[in-house]
Amino acid sequence: MRDFELSVSSLLNGVDRATNFVLEGVLPDLYVTSSRVPKDALIRVEGRAEAVGEGILVTWTLSTRYEAECVRCLGAIAGDLEGEARELFVEGDDTEDQYGFRGEVLDLSVAIADLCVLLLPPVPLCRADCKGLCQHCGADLNEGSCGCSQETSDPRWAALDQL
């Protein structure tokens, strides 16, 4: 089986009503804007799968790490990504509204990838009070004043000076 596949034969056959699981692996291409889960980042998923009338109800928590660039100063950011989800998997193909499965193996990789992308910060900041870069010379204003003269500012940038 692949990293995020879970055997659900005992649930489908009525042997077990629920089962706990721990899965670990990596998934490629998890990113949004300037935030991403590194290609080699281990994703750990702990959860419970339960047989319900409509299919298999899966509740899980996820933990991994992420990297990003601050949208103001372009500085590197790294942190932990953690979240939880509860999804119903029904027999058949994935649709826009639900996850599907076929046979006795539940592949959680698409649902896990979706959760990772939802958890990534869409507008990452290195800190809430990041001053960003000078719009004229590109100096990092978090390190101090750049020395640019406001008189030499291009009037087209005046509105940005107020932000």
Both 69 and 142 in a single domain?
no
Both 120 and 64 in a single domain?
yes
Closest by CA position to 60, among listed 135, 100, 10, 114: 114
Both 31 and 93 in a single domain?
yes
Parallel, antiparallel, or unpaired for β 35-37 and 55-69? antiparallel
| AA letter at 10 | S
Closest by CA position to 124, among listed 42, 47, 68: 68
For the segment 63-121, what is each residue's pLDDT rounded down to a tens digit?
Answer: 999 999 999 999 999 999 999 999 999 999 888 889 999 899 999 999 999 999 999 99
Both 100 and 146 in a single domain?
no
For the segment 120-160, what is each residue's pLDDT rounded down to a tens digit?
Answer: 999 999 999 999 999 888 899 999 888 775 544 555 555 55
pLDDT at 151: 47
Both 18 and 72 in a single domain?
yes
Both 97 and 19 in a single domain?
yes
pLDDT at 62: 97
Domain coverage including residue 11: 5-129
For the segment 10-23, what is each residue's pLDDT rounded down to a tens digit?
Answer: 898 888 899 999 99
Both 110 and 137 in a single domain?
no
Name the domain count of the chain.
Answer: 2
Both 94 and 136 in a single domain?
no
Both 125 and 142 in a single domain?
no
Both 65 and 10 in a single domain?
yes
